[in-house]
């Protein structure tokens, strides 16, 4: 929102917990919602208009139409959460049609989501330009997320292992390691030191089609998904690997 306020004349923020991107066993009903707190944050962040529709307004009785982006949605989060990106693409398409934004801002933390939305915008000829904001982190590197509020006691301390693992991967690549299996194994060791952490996946892929890479070169996305207790968290880092290694955005 701060990025949007610097680049836009009018900033519209949508708040909508989208049921179609949650699986039947996921946390739609318990997902953190605090509209009054959000309104105060919006005022400080430069929001001009808050769009907060109901589920019935977005998905009225008899609703049958969905947007499906293929191939890049089958991997990573799509593999772990079948149907998730159909819900994401559908709601974003509907919001774009309703608001008609010139620019839309998404966070790097959900890197695969960014790629899916960019592909949808390109394929369906939306005139909205997608801009990516960097991941915001707490003092120990944990990516900020609504689901962080689920973390209790020692869970938050052990959740820092996601960023520690990503840093380990980045450091190895900066030292010249080119074998993705070596990098992934070292990252896994970091996570496994935390007894509350259960790994969903670690992946090193290209940044366009999200295909696994064996030799690390060019643009590479390091992705990780871990359960800390009952809370599922994701994080990622995109790197451009050549004579020098530096962070990029998806």
Q: What is the pLDDT of residue 242?
A: 93
One domain for residues 190 and 86 = no
Q: What is the pLDDT of residue 118?
A: 98
Three-state SS for the chain is CHHHHHHCCCCEEECCCCHHHCCCCCCCCCCCCCHHHHHHHHHHHCCCEEECCCHHHHCCCCCCCCCCCCCCCCCCHHHHCCCHHHHHHHHHHHHHHHHCCCEEEEEHHHHHHHHHHHHHHHHCCCCCEEEEECCCECCCCCECCHHHHHCCCHHHHHHCHHHHHHHHHHHHHHCCCCEHHHHHHHHHHHHHCCCCEEEEEEEEEECCCCCECCECCEEEEEEEEEEECCEEEEEEEEEEECCCEEEECC
Residue pLDDT tens, the chain, 250 long: 999 999 999 999 999 999 999 999 999 999 999 999 999 999 999 999 999 999 999 999 999 999 999 999 999 999 999 999 999 999 999 999 999 999 999 999 999 999 999 999 999 999 999 999 999 999 999 999 999 999 999 999 999 999 999 999 999 999 999 999 999 999 999 999 999 999 999 999 999 999 999 999 999 999 999 999 999 999 999 999 999 999 999 9
Residue 181 has what pLDDT?
98
| Count of domains observed in the chain | 2
Q: What pLDDT sits at residue 106?
A: 97
Give the chain's mean pLDDT. Answer: 97
Q: How far apart are CA 178 and CA 171, in angstroms?
A: 12
**pLDDT, position 79:** 97
What is the pLDDT at residue 215? 97
Domain final residue, candidates 112, 133, 154: 133
The domain in which residue 187 lies consists of 146-248
pLDDT, residue 46, reads 92
Report if residue 233 sits inside a domain: yes
Task: Write down the pLDDT at residue 38.
Answer: 96
* pLDDT for 123: 98
Q: Are residues 126 and 28 in the same domain?
A: yes
**Of 133, 156, 182, at which residue does a domain stop?**
133
What pLDDT shows up at residue 23?
95
Q: Are residues 43 and 112 in the same domain?
A: yes
| Bridge partners, 231 (sequence order) | 228
């Amino acid at each position: 929102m701060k990025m949007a306020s610097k680049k836009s004349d009018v900033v519209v923020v949508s708040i909508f917990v989208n049921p179609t991107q949650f699986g039947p066993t996921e946390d739609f009903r318990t997902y953190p919602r605090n509209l009054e707190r959000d309104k105060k944050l919006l005022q400080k962040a430069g929001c001009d208009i808050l769009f907060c529709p109901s589920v019935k307004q977005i998905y009225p009785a008899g609703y049958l139409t969905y947007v499906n982006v293929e191939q890049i949605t089958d991997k990573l989060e799509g593999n772990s959460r079948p149907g998730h990106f159909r819900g994401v693409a559908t709601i974003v398409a509907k919001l774009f049609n309703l608001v008609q934004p010139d620019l839309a801002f998404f966070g790097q933390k959900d890197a695969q989501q960014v790629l899916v939305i960019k592909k949808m915008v390109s394929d369906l000829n939306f005139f909205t330009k997608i801009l990516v904001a960097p991941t915001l982190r707490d003092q120990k590197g944990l990516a900020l997320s609504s689901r962080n509020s689920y973390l209790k006691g020692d869970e938050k301390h052990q959740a820092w292992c996601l960023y520690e693992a990503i840093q380990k991967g980045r450091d190895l690549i900066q030292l010249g390691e080119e074998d993705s299996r070596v990098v992934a194994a070292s990252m896994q060791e970091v996570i496994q030191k935390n007894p509350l952490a259960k790994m969903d996946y670690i992946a090193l892929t290209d940044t366009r089609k999200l295909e696994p890479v064996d030799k690390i070169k060019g643009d590479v996305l390091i992705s990780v998904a871990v359960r800390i207790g009952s809370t599922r968290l994701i994080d990622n880092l995109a790197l451009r690997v050549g004579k020098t290694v530096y962070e990029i955005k998806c």
